[in-house]
Structure 1
Amino acid sequence: MNLEPKTYSAKPAEARAARRWWVIDAEGKPLGRLATRIAMVLRGKDKPTFTPHVDTGDFVIVVNAQKTMLTGRKMQQKQYVRHSGEPGGFRSVPAELVLERQPEIPITKAVKGMLPKNTLGRELLTKLKVYPGPDHPHAAQQPQPLPWPDQSSK
């Protein structure tokens, strides 16, 4: 008689059925800590049913992306770079301008860097919805506020 416990592995259909929608207000939150929390929820690591090769995570809506915080002098020193592939196609833009013009890009890029670099990671990123202001069009999904770990308990 084998008394060892069996290892649970989530099936994709089970994981899809158990998805929830969370909303998080980015106002005044540091970009890196915000991205870490979002990546964990997207991946499903906050659930006991986490399975590395299956999408067990939830949807995340980020509002007030324009008011996210960068610590130190990152607002002036951090550069977002891209290249068109053409000669002379290198572009570099400071974080200050990116947050002003396209505030969803810093959060999306930070979260993308924390997800797996494969098809699962790309699929997880589609469950992230980022909006510059306080309004979002996902009221029908009845998103709950994502609990933010209290910093005063340390």
Structure 2
Amino acid sequence: KNKPSYSPNIECGDNVIIINADKVRLTGKKWTDREYLSYTGYPGGQRVATTEIMMKKSLNKHLKPGYHPLFIKVVKGMLPKNRLGRAIIENMHVYNGPNHPHEAQNPVVIDINKIK
């Protein structure tokens, strides 16, 4: 939002790369008590996953690189529920370790505590 070309109704093409997602910490019983729902589209196809299960899914080698089910679900809930929100979530890449394949794009580290 700090760019001069920012417009709330246009996807500006900025990408977000989150690293070290495996080091996320939650307090209390949030690992086991918080539930995320998904629906397969079939009758009786509602699935329930806890935060702990979603973190284990992120370690699955069959998922595409940069896809982390827990972070995608959480951030997608904060975005607008329209085609702009679906386009914006494609620009987020989450990696469990410190390495990522986006070094060629010269990413800039942004400290969100300093932006006001």
Same fold (TM over 0.5): yes
For 1:141 and 1:102, locate their aligned partners in 2 and report how far apart those are by CA, in whole Å: 24
Aligned 8 A contact 2:57 2:69 in 1 = no
Q: Give 1:48 deviation, angstroms.
A: 4.1
> Are 1:105 and 2:61 matched, yes or no?
no
Match of 2:104 in 1: 140
Alignment of 1:108-119 (within 5 A): 108-119=72-83
Higher relative contact order (CA 8 A, sep 6+): 2
Extract structure 1 runs of 4+ deviating beyond 4 A.
none
Task: Give, in angstroms, the shift of residue 65 of structure 1.
Answer: 1.3
2:32–2:51 contact (8 Å) kept in structure 1: yes
**Amino acid of the structure 2 residue aligned with 1:76:** T
Q: Which residue of 2 aligns with 1:49?
A: 5
Partners of 2:43 and 2:90 in 1: how far apart? 31
Cα drift, residue 139 of structure 1:
0.7
Unmatched tracts of structure 1, length 5 or more: 1-44
TM-score w.r.t. length of structure 1: 0.61
Cα deviation, 1:29-85, whole Å, max 9, x if unaligned, reads xxxxxxxxxxxxxxxx23343211112362111111122122332111111221222
Which has the higher Rg, Structure 1 or Structure 2? 1
Structure with a larger share of its residues in helix: 1
User: How many equivalent residue pairs?
Assistant: 106
Query: When the two structures are superposed, what TM-score results if normalisation uses the length of structure 2?
Result: 0.78
Q: For the Cα contact (< 8 Å) 1:76–1:95, is it kept in 2?
A: yes
Query: What RMSD over aligned residues (CA atoms) do the two structures have, in Å?
Result: 1.9
Q: Is the 8 A contact 1:79 1:95 kept in 2?
A: yes
- 2:19 partner amino acid: V
